[in-house]
Amino acid sequence: MVGESANYSRLSYEHKLSLYLVERMPIFIWKHAAPAEWVTANHLGFAVENLADIWPIIDNFTEDQYQEMQERLSHVSKLIRNGMFAKHAALEAVLAVNETNSKW
């Protein structure tokens, strides 16, 4: 991806990503997208440069690996459905505001 579509893709994955995670779908994400590192670090899917990179991953993905990923996806799905990421972000925002105000 180049130009404006690349910039858009780097920043706009969160909405679709959360929908796929709630449905416990393994993620294939462009490796330059903002959440790519989070997806791979949490073993929720794979970061790829282009679509051709997907097939070797699928061909070598075992049933055991899929089941392990499904367990992680189930956990994250519950967190999203219960609003834990939103609650965490709100708490961090409140703490940041309080810290800023306490310096005055």
Angle of helix 13-22 versus helix 63-81 axis, rounded to 10? 110
Q: Where are the domains of the chain?
A: 3-102
Q: The domain 3-102: what is its CATH number? A: 3.40.50.2000
What 3-state DSSP class applies to 30?
A: strand
The answer to whether the Cα torsion of 60, 25, 53, 48 is positive or negative is negative
The whole-angstrom separation of Cα 53 and Cα 25 is 18
pLDDT, tens digit, 9 for 90 and up, residues 41-98: 999 999 999 999 999 999 999 999 999 999 999 999 999 999 998 899 999 999 999 9
The whole-angstrom separation of Cα 38 and Cα 70 is 16
Q: What is the pLDDT of residue 50?
A: 95
pLDDT, tens digit, 9 for 90 and up, residues 2-44: 566 666 665 566 778 999 999 999 999 999 988 999 999 999 9
